Amino acid sequence: MAAPLKVDYAFDTEDLESSAKIVKFAILKKHQQQDAAQEHEVASFEETMLPHMDAAHNLAKWLLRNEEDAQDVVQEAYLRAFKSFSGFHGSNGRAWLLTIVRNTSYTLLKKNRAVDLTTTFDEEIHTAGYESVSPAAILEHSENAELIKEAMDALPMEFREILALRHQEGLSYKEIAEIAQIPPGTVMSRLSRARAELKEYLAARIGKDK
């Protein structure tokens, strides 16, 4: 009774292309309704800020430890950044955006009453005999990304934040101080403690597995 099915139509490349064209056309039409000035504003914002999307997502993911929340926060941060873009005259777009991402993340966490600003260290792991593990032994395990991730996730939020900013974004102490909103003199000591705790966690894990 049924007409012969053309099951593969959705995979037809031409079909997908023309669908994409319809969407592009719809967006284009909407653009024409907008002021050229407004379009210019969006374009200039995107040109300045979209290159930092990976950095924004990475920071949000480390702060929130949740992919869905991270994406929501990045979208919200971009919107906030756009609204105050006219007030941005600096040259460091990445640091500016990361400040907003950081603040948005903290706002969300406060709202969820899940702020883990205090040290929540696993006592058992923390006190297990890591004294016997040498730096060389930890160095051997430093290529184990899964282990490093686990160690990072176990750290308090302020430490995850500062390690991501320094080691992944390569930001200066001055930039980190501005983003994390701490005195410049505090950056070195916090970074030092963060690294020490990361090493201790790794040592404890390695010592435990032995």
Partner 1 sequence: MNCEEATKLMDGYLDGELDPITSQTIEQHLRDCPNCEQKYMANRALVNAIGSAIPYYKAPAGLRERIQCSLREEIADRPARAVPRLLVTRKQPEPRTTLFGTPWNWLSLGGLGLAAAIIFAAIIFSNLAPMLRRPGADQFLATQLIASHVRSLMVNHLTDVASSDQHTVKPWLDAKLDFAPPVVDLASEGFPLIGGRLDYLDNRTVAALIYQRRKHFINVFVWPGEAAARPALAMSHQGYQLLHWADPDFNYWAVSDVSASDLQTFKQQFEAQRSHH
Tell me how far apart the alpha carbons of residues 161 and 175 are, in angstroms, rounded to a whole number. Answer: 13
SS3 of the chain: helix, strand, coil, percent, to 5: 75, 0, 25
Say which residue the tokens 């907003």 belong to. 100
The correct pick among 166, 179, 204, 205 for binding partner 1 (CB under 8 A) is 166
Report how far apart the first and last C-alpha atoms of the chain are (Å, whole number): 69
Taking CB under 8 A as the binding criterion, the range among 92-100, 115-123, 125-133, 136-144 that sits at the site for partner 1 is: 136-144
Give the 3-state secondary structure of residue 46: helix
Integer Cα distance of 175 and 90 in angstroms: 13
114 interacts with partner 1 by CB under 8 A: no
Token look-up 């374009």 returns 43
Contacts (CB under 8 A) with partner 1, residues 49-88? 50, 53-54, 56-58, 61-62, 67, 70-72, 74-76, 78-79, 82-83
DSSP code of residue 66: -
The footprint of partner 1 (CB under 8 A) covers 1-3, 5, 7-8, 10-11, 16, 19, 22-23, 26-27, 30, 33-35, 38, 41-42, 45-46, 50, 53-54, 56-58, 61-62, 67, 70-72, 74-76, 78-79, 82-83, 135-136, 138-139, 142-145, 148-149, 152, 163-164, 166-168, 172-173, 187-188, 191-192, 195, 198-199, 202
